[in-house]
Amino acid sequence: MSKKNTAVIPSSEQEIIDIVAKQHDYFKTGATKSYQQRRESLLKLKAALIKYEPEMHTALKQDLHKPEFESYLSETGFSLHDLSTTLKKLKSWMKPKWRFTSLLTQPGSSHIHYSPLGVNLIIAPYNYPIMLTFSPLIAALAAGNTAVIKTSELTPACSAITRKIINETFVPEYVAYIEGEVPETTVLLEQKFEHIFFTGSPRVGSIIMRAAAKNLTPVTLELGGKSPCIVHDDAKIDIAVNRIVSGKFLNAGQTCVAPDYVMVHKSIKEAFLAKLKQRIMSTYGEDASLSPDFARIVSDNHFQRISSLIDPAKVLVGGQTEAESRFIAPTVLRDVVTTDKVMADEIFGPVLPVLEYEQLEEVYQLVDQLPHHPLACYIFSESATVQQEIINKIQAGGACINQCLLHAANHHIPFGGVGESGMGAYHGFDGFECFSHKKGVLKSVTWMENPLTYAPYGNKINILRKFMK
């Protein structure tokens, strides 16, 4: 598969400076803050996504060879579902949230007021270029902000349709799209934003964080990590295999929450591997390059990196590669050990190492010795005790029990990393909160006085001690 060249016209340094300045001025007018404005903006975006859905699917096919089903499931459909949820809930999200008022601060009442942060920078990655652009944008607009969007240069067709949607839907002082690559991103990071939302690798995340620190800009970092998948001896193997294959090979493994490796109990290892091989063959056929349901690697560099992780001596199934089309077959490596190259960093491709264990303590030790906190943890077990033990023992951004990936599709729970896999969370109300300042407000009554804290203090300290116990 050859990638069609799509021209990218870099934004000039002055253009970037001017856009950010205009957004600051526009935000100060208060035009973005009303419920009506937020709702109208989201409705316009929804109409644009519906209008350009076929073009987005074509772009995803061009950049990543994504099947239309995957494009809708994880990109356009996901974004539209996010929009629908946000539109239904926005009015209730914006309402002040009442809190308890302590005795010391009585008589009065307390609440949380959600204020927009201001001008936000959203930097999207290549693996889900539509969803990971529009999902944070939806949250930013719902919270009453402006936004500057920068997408990945590795997906030029998707960038082109994203630019088209943004330019047709919004004025640039409200939502702006910036063209370019590393130089333009560098200029952007030199500007003053109220918040930076970045999705990508831990390596680039550290660069973003260092740049943000110069302006004391808060960041949300949605990064990655080696997400473990534990298949315990009491797991329903057929169910586990079906869900692991689906979760691992979606988008050719280029999913930040894909199962990075499987740890399977020694007693069921051979049965698990046999069913895993059978499932991959029945899903993608003898030659997965002919399957209409399998994507491709985004770039030559990533193709070379992932291909180099495949040890031919350990291939159970797959292992075939084709450089011109950037095809890497769904591959399983058996009898993997922690010193193998494939275990050194996040794979981010269609290669699944399988390791064995006998005691759960071996699982915990392995996860702890790997370089990054997992973004997700997947547990296949019928035991509630085992499930809860693993949830308690493994520090991960999120988790699924007897499932893969789908926690990230539930807009009613937060999605985010922990430690090196990220900071902050979003989706649904958590996305609204991510792009809002939670302003604590105390409202005191005027129909009576509480003179306790007024001088002269005299012997009031004895009363104060009672209030503050």
The pLDDT of residue 213 = 97
- Residue ranges, comma separated, of all CATH 3.40.605.10 domains in the chain are 13-223+422-440
Q: What is the average pLDDT across 250-270? A: 98
Indicate the pLDDT class of residue 6, thresholds 50, 70 and 90: very low
Measured CA to CA in angstroms, residue 140 lies from 129, 197, 428, 431 at distances of 17, 10, 11, 8
Q: With b meaning 16 or more CB within 10 Å and e meaning fewer, what string describes 24-51? A: bebbeeeebbeeeebbebbeebbebbee
Q: Residue 375: is its pLDDT beyond 80?
A: yes
Residue 230 phi/psi, 5-degree rounding, is -105, 120
Cα of 408 vs its chain's centroid, Å: 8
Nearest to 253 by CA among 186, 333, 324: 333
What would the pLDDT profile of 190-237 be if each residue is shown by its tens digit?
Answer: 999 999 999 999 999 999 999 999 999 999 999 988 999 999 999 999
- Residue ranges, comma separated, of all CATH 3.40.309.10 domains in the chain are 228-416
Cis peptide before 125 (omega within 30 of 0): no
Is 256 considered catalytic here?
yes
Q: Which residue among 70, 179, 222, 356 is the active-site one?
A: 222
**Mean of all residue pLDDT scores within the chain:** 95
For residues 411 and 263, is the Cβ–Cβ distance under 8 A?
no
The pLDDT of residue 356 = 97
Secondary structure of residue 457 in the 3-state scheme: coil
CATH of 228-416 among 3.40.50.300, 3.40.309.10, 3.30.200.210, 3.90.1150.10: 3.40.309.10
Q: How far apart are CA 416 and CA 355, in angstroms?
A: 26
> 35-51 vs 53-64: helix axis angle to the nearest 10?
60
Indicate the pLDDT class of residue 103, thresholds 50, 70 and 90: confident
What would the pLDDT profile of 282-312 be if each residue is shown by its tens digit?
Answer: 999 999 999 999 999 999 999 999 999 999 9
The pLDDT of residue 281 = 97
For residues 364 and 374, is the Cβ–Cβ distance under 8 A?
no
What would the pLDDT profile of 35-49 be if each residue is shown by its tens digit?
Answer: 999 999 999 999 999
Q: Compute the CA torsion angle 149, 153, 154, 159 (nearest 10 deg).
A: 50
For residues 379 and 400, is the Cβ–Cβ distance under 8 A?
yes
Question: Who contacts 439 (Cβ-Cβ below 8 Å, separation ≥6)?
Answer: 112, 113, 114, 115
Q: What percent of the chain has pLDDT over 70?
A: 98
Tokens found for residue 378: 């997947």
CB neighbours of residue 85 within 10 Å = 17
> What sign does the CA torsion over 288, 291, 295, 299 have?
positive
**Which segment of 49-53, 55-59, 74-78, 370-374 scores lowest on mean pLDDT?**
370-374
The pLDDT of residue 407 = 97
Paired residues of 229 in beta bridges: 262, 378
The pLDDT of residue 10 = 67
The model carries a pTM of: 0.94
**Rg of the chain, C-alpha, whole Å:** 25
Measured CA to CA in angstroms, residue 198 lies from 138, 202, 281, 328, 401 at distances of 15, 10, 36, 28, 28
Q: Residue 165: is its pLDDT beyond 80?
A: yes
Q: How far apart are CA 341 and CA 74, in angstroms?
A: 30
- CATH, domain range 13-223+422-440: 3.40.605.10
Paired residues of 341 in beta bridges: none
Tokens found for residue 22: 């205009």
Q: Which residue among 256, 377, 404, 434 is the active-site one?
A: 256
For residues 425 and 434, is the Cβ–Cβ distance under 8 A?
yes
Question: Who contacts 417 (Cβ-Cβ below 8 Å, separation ≥6)?
Answer: 221, 222, 223, 224, 225, 373, 375, 397, 423
The pLDDT of residue 9 = 58
Tokens 């889900």, residue located: 128
Q: How far apart are CA 164 and CA 228, in angstroms?
A: 38
